[in-house]
Amino acid sequence: MPGATSKDRLTTRPHFRFEDFEIWQLARALAVKLHRLAHELDRRRLYRYAEQLRAAGLSLTNNIAEGSGSTHAREFMQFLNIARRSLFEDASMLMVFEELGLVSSAEIDEVLRDRDILSRKITNFSRTLSP
């Protein structure tokens, strides 16, 4: 659409089921936080660690989104389980980065709390899909 504003694109953009899920919205917010931490690692030329954080953040949102596209509850639950397990992987990475002095406790404490909350919400949401 030539000349279309970003507001026009937003009103004509398709809406996906996963956008309505609180767990996806929380996962998206966490992905943004991980990208911000990754940017700081990039500034210190720790590119591999930064890329690992970015991938971890996207894994959460992508697994929730992909699972929501399934027509079978059991398959959706599998994707939610993968997303939940990714949260634990992320937490472990952040704790190791903290121990190495790459990130401060202050930087990751909130992110770890958010991950714990999201993990519990994914578990509860998954239970609603059980037959």
Each residue's pLDDT tens digit, 15-24: 999 999 999 9
Domain that holds residue 75: 19-129
Which residue do the tokens 């993968």 mark?
82
- Helix/strand/coil (H, E, C) string of 88-109? HHHHHHHHHHHHCCCCCHHHHH
Per residue in 107-128, pLDDT tens?
899 999 999 999 999 999 999 9
The reply to whether 72 falls in a domain is: yes
| Dihedral sign from CA coordinates of 96, 102, 106, 109 | negative
- Which pTM does this prediction carry? 0.85
Which residue do the tokens 């397990």 mark?
85
pLDDT value of residue 74: 95
pLDDT value of residue 37: 92
Mean pLDDT, rounded, for 66-91: 94
DSSP state at residue 46: -
The reply to whether 8 falls in a domain is: no
Give the CATH number, domain containing residue 61.
Answer: 1.20.1440.60
Q: Is 44 helix (H, G, I), strand (E, B) or coil?
A: coil
Number of structural domains (the chain) is: 1
65 band by pLDDT with thresholds 50, 70 and 90:
very high
